[in-house]
Amino acid sequence: MELADRAALAGDVPVGALVVRGSAALGVGWNTREARNDPAGHAEIAALREAAQAVGDWRLEGCDLYVTLEPCTMCAGAIVASRVARVVFGAWDPKAGAAGSVRDVLRDARLNHRVEVVGGVCEDECSRQLRAFFGR
């Protein structure tokens, strides 16, 4: 949630992400679409890129990704492609979620990799953070 605060301070939707293997944090990210005029500037993408650089491989097998909001379709595709083992997220996204709410890209049996999904962790706090940003 602290990473999500970084996004909000820059005028972006407060979403933060962290890639971990064992007890080591490998990559962090927060939304930067507004700050960098980057349509792919999602927290998950930034965290995955940093983690891949840290391990020297695009394959992030054995890694977990923690994120404050359910990943969208773009991020879910990147998560599957990077072979992340598990995604743990806070708030569900009933408009664009791709980890079980609107779609379930992460566990789609037609893809070459499936990801374990744990949703709703610290859901109230993450949802509150998002609602505060949007003024509701």
Pairing outcome for strands 24-30 and 16-21: antiparallel
Was 63 annotated as part of a binding site? Answer: no
Backbone angles phi, psi at 42, to 5 degrees: -90, 150
Given the residues 2, 34, 44, 70, select the one marked as catalytic: 44
Please name the residue that has the structure tokens 């990147």: 78
122 is annotated as contributing to ligand binding: no
70 tagged catalytic: no
Q: Say if residues 76 and 50 touch (Cβ distance below 8 Å).
A: no
Binding site: what residues are annotated? Answer: 42, 72, 75
Binding site for Zn(2+): what residues are annotated? Answer: 42, 72, 75
Residues with a known catalytic role: 44
